[in-house]
Structure 1
Amino acid sequence: MPVIRHQQFIKASVEVCFNLARNVDIHTQTTSKTKEKAVGGVTQGYLEKGDTVTWEAIHFGIKQRLTAKVIHMEKSTVFVDIMVKGAFSSFTHTHQFKEEKGGTIMIDTFEYKSPFGPIGIIADKLFLERYMTGFIISRARELKRIVEKGN
């Protein structure tokens, strides 16, 4: 099971970073390259523990839907969402926020299991893990840009 871990420093408070990272409207801005939009569940505003959201996006030239549920939340420090329906066999995305001098370290940990058994493992090695790593990094950088532009 691949695990992608990325840290991003943001010049803003933990509270600001935490809140914008769980904001559906901001999420769509940070994933505009894949035309991601919320089409079910919570479709605007802030995600809370127990909420689900269905995202529609274009990955690999194919329109896809994925439903995620927030299963854990400690306000301003961590929230965790899991896939409940979608293309992966499973995934868990942990979003952590740690105060750092002059701002916040945002840590994304994305653990996933590809579908299709051995074929999925080969896809991971050939392209999927690299693609997902780029997606996580791009989203974090875009969130940083949005947050720091607002400060």
Structure 2
Amino acid sequence: MTKIHLITKINAPINQVFDLARNIDVHQQSTASSYEKAIDGITSGLINLNETVTWRGKHFGIYLKHKSLISEMEFPTYFVDEMLEGHFKSFRHEHNFVEKNEKTVMIDTIEYQTPFGMLGRIFDQLVLKNHLTQFITERNKFIKKLAESH
């Protein structure tokens, strides 16, 4: 199991950051470089508990699909998206939000397993973990810029 842990400090109220992080339209804008598009389930606006979204995006030169369920949510401090269908053996992304003095700390914890045994683990170590870390970091920078510009 691979784990990625990211912390992003944002000069904006927690409610605003929480809503930006679960906004399908914002996700599509922030991941435009990989042509991410919501193609099924909730395809725009805010996603909520027990709702699903299927993403289609271009990674490593090919289009991939990833269906996620919002399996847990506590407004405005926490939500989890978990893969229902996709190319991982398992994928879980915890989003935590902590507010201090009208500023928000956004904490991402991603845990996943790759398929294909040893080959999957080698691909993860050489390419995938860095790709996912950069992908989420860029998304978080976009959310931060959007939140702080309001």
Between the aligned partners of 1:7 and 1:95, the Cα distance in structure 2 is 10
Paired residue type of 1:141? K
Post-superposition offset of 1:101 = 2.9
> Partner of 1:45 in structure 2?
45
Check the 8 A contact 2:8/2:106 in 1, yes or no.
yes
Write out the 4+ residue segments of structure 1 that deviate beyond 6 Å after TM superposition. Answer: none
Q: Secondary structure at the match of 2:126?
A: helix
Contact 2:38 2:55 in 1 (8 A): yes
Separation of aligned partners in 2, 1:51 and 1:78: 15
| Structure 1 residue aligned with 2:107 | 107
Which residue number corresponds to residue 94 of structure 1? 94
* Farther-moved stretch of structure 1 (65-74 vs 98-107): 98-107
Residue 100 of structure 1: CA displacement? Answer: 2.2
Q: SS at 2:44's partner residue?
A: coil
1:2-151 equivalent positions in 2, closer than 5 A: 2-149=2-149, 151=150
Gaps of 5+ in 1: none
Q: Please give the TM-score of this superposition, normalised by the length of structure 2.
A: 0.97
CA distance in 2, matches of 1:100, 1:28: 28
Secondary structure of the residue aligned to 1:44 is coil
Query: Any conservation in 1 of the 2:14–2:102 contact (CA below 8 Å)?
Result: no
Q: Which runs of 5+ in 2 are unaligned?
A: none
3-state secondary structure, aligned to 2:45: coil
Do the aligned residues in 1 keep the contact of 2:88 with 2:114 (CA within 8 Å)?
yes
**Identity score, percent:** 42
In structure 1, how many angstroms separate the alpha carbons of the residues matched to 2:125 and 2:57? 23
Q: What is the CA-CA distance between 1:102 and the residue it aligns to?
A: 4.3
Corresponding pairs, count: 150
Contact 2:25 2:44 in 1 (8 A): yes
Q: TM-score, with normalisation over the residues of structure 1? A: 0.97
CA RMSD of aligned residues (A): 0.8
* Residue 41 of structure 1: how far off its partner (Å): 0.3
